[in-house]
Amino acid sequence: MMGPIRQWLLGVACTAIVLAVAEGLVPKGSVKKVCRLAGGLALLLAVVGPVLRLDGELLSRTVEEYRASIQTWEVELEEKNNLIYQTIIEGNAAAYIVDKAEEMGIACQAEVTFSYDENGVPCPWEVTAWGVWTGGRQETLARLLEDDLGVPRQRQHYEEKEP
C-alpha cells in the first residue's frame, strides 16, 4: 500500500524540482509566463494523474475484499464476545450457588453450563455440584437450583467430595 503512495509523492516532488529549474533557466517576459502555465499544468497532472489512472474494477474488488474481511472479523469478535459473556455468567451463577448454599449451611462447589433459550437469552442449563451430601443437603440444594435458576433435577449432578 505504501509503494504507490511513495511513487506518487516522488513523482510530484520530481516534477516540482524540474519546474523550478526550468523556471530559473527561462528568460523573463512572455516566454516565462507560458513556461509557468505549462509547468503548472504538468504539476497538476502529476498530482491528479494517479487518480485518473485508477482501475475502477480493481478498486471495487479491493473494497469488497475489505468488506468481507471486516465481516469475518465481526463474526469472530462476536463469537469471542459471546464466549467471554458466557464464561462470566457461568462463573457468577456458580458463585451464586455457592453463596446461597453457604447461607443454608451447605459447603459445596459448583459448575454451571449455559445454553441459549428460544429468544437467544443465556440461561443455566446444567449444574454439577461437589460436596458432602448428608442430612438432606442435596435435596435442599436441588430445590434452590430448580426454584431460583430454573434448572430441572435431571440436569443437576451431584458428586460426593469435600469442597
pLDDT of residue 2: 67
Give the global pTM.
0.57
With beta carbons less than 8 A apart as the criterion, state whether 132 and 162 touch: yes
Q: What are phi and psi of 147, to 5 degrees?
A: -75, -50
Cell of 156: 443437576
pLDDT of residue 30: 85
**What Å distances lie between residue 81 and 4, 29, 87, CA to CA?**
37, 71, 10
With beta carbons less than 8 A apart as the criterion, state whether 141 and 108 touch: yes
Neighbours of 106 (CB within 10 A): 23
pLDDT of residue 69: 93
pLDDT of residue 104: 87
- State which residues of the chain have pLDDT below 70: 1-2, 163
3-class DSSP state for residue 116? strand
Q: What pairs with residue 99 in β-bridges?
A: none
pLDDT of residue 152: 93
With beta carbons less than 8 A apart as the criterion, state whether 39 and 48 touch: no
pLDDT of residue 23: 86
Every domain of the chain with CATH number 3.30.300 lies at 83-160
Write out the H or E segment, with its range, that includes residue 16.
helix 2-25
pLDDT of residue 51: 74
pLDDT of residue 163: 64
Q: Could you give the CA distance from residue 24 to residue 45 in angstroms, rounded to a whole number?
A: 21
Nearest 5°: the CA angle 40, 42, 44 is 70
Q: For 62-79, what is each residue's pLDDT tens digit?
A: 889 999 999 999 999 999
Q: What is the CATH code for 83-160?
A: 3.30.300
